[in-house]
Amino acid sequence: MPEGDTIFRAARAMNQALAGKRVTRFDSALPKLTRVDEDTPLTGRTIESVSSAGKWNLIRFSGDLILLTHMRMNGSWHLYRPGERWQRQKNDMRIVIETADFVAIGFNVPPAEFHTEESLRRKAELRELGEDLLGEDFDTDAALQKLRSLAHEEIGIALLNQRVMAGIGNIYKSEICFACKVNPFTRIQSLNDAQLRCLIETARKFLKANVREESARGIVTYTGFRRTTGRHNPAERLWVYGRRALPCRQCGTKIEAKKDKVDARVTFWCPNCQLPTAELNAETQRHGKP
């Protein structure tokens, strides 16, 4: 699934290419979008801006019309020059927004709907979004309080909760926990504030490092170059994710992997660097064992 940095880069590139441009053609394979286009045509409107909110993409058109999309597991937005060959199959096309200079194609974006500013404010998924890790007004204390409210939740699952912090996906979840030496299956109630702040601040650092301006060129879907280690060698770009049974980059212990209970996503961790000591101590106190 595309993570927050992917959505941010996509929105930034689309905004650079499309903002201020007039729509010359709109097409969609989604009937609910074509109905709106028939009633209030997109052609002739100006694209005012493209922005992201967590994992959502928002395209604002003149006349108080907003296209809201989510990439889910396989969605993506591509930018092409008019007449340029697409890199995805035509059957995957869901939305086409064409201007004189660029064509934006939304592939496999199942959640796609038009809104006004008023209806967008009522959209529960947006209204309930947690602190946006790539937002300029990110509030660490607010994110910490929301994590604390999920005291009995495993930290790895809580990090994926977009109502806590918006933007973290499965790759970052494992990488963030490793960087802070926190076992991803530890209950939040067993973590102290310093550990939680480390997780929050590392999440923000990792995402911001992967949306630097030089990373915004070309097709704006995730292509496998996300880095958390800071190393330039592509083979060493991640600490633990996707490295089951390979040696830990810090201690040499074999990386382990396990499917999560909630949605069967796979979590990766080092059993030596990320010892579940806090969780074990909490269990000992709970059951009165020596």
> How confident is the prediction along the chain (290 residues), in pLDDT tens digits per residue?
578 888 898 999 999 999 999 999 999 999 999 999 999 999 999 999 999 988 899 999 999 999 999 988 788 899 999 999 999 999 999 999 999 999 999 999 988 999 999 999 999 989 999 999 998 899 999 999 999 999 999 999 999 999 999 999 999 999 999 999 999 999 999 999 999 999 999 999 999 988 876 544 444 433 456 889 988 788 889 999 999 999 999 999 999 999 877 677 899 999 999 988 544 455 445 544 43
Cβ proximity of 199 and 159 under 8 Å: yes
pTM comes to: 0.82
Whole-angstrom distance, CA of residue 175 vs CA of residue 202: 9
Residues designated catalytic: 2-3, 55, 265
- Domain spans of the chain? 4-127, 132-287
Are 4-127 and 132-287 in the same CATH fold? no
What is the DSSP annotation of 121-158? Answer: HT-HHHHT--EETT-TT--HHHHHHHHHTTTTSBHHHH
CATH classification number, 132-287, choose in 1.10.540.10, 3.40.50.620, 3.30.230.10, 1.10.8.50: 1.10.8.50
CATH classification number, 4-127, choose in 3.20.190.10, 3.40.50.970, 3.40.190.10, 3.40.50.10190: 3.20.190.10
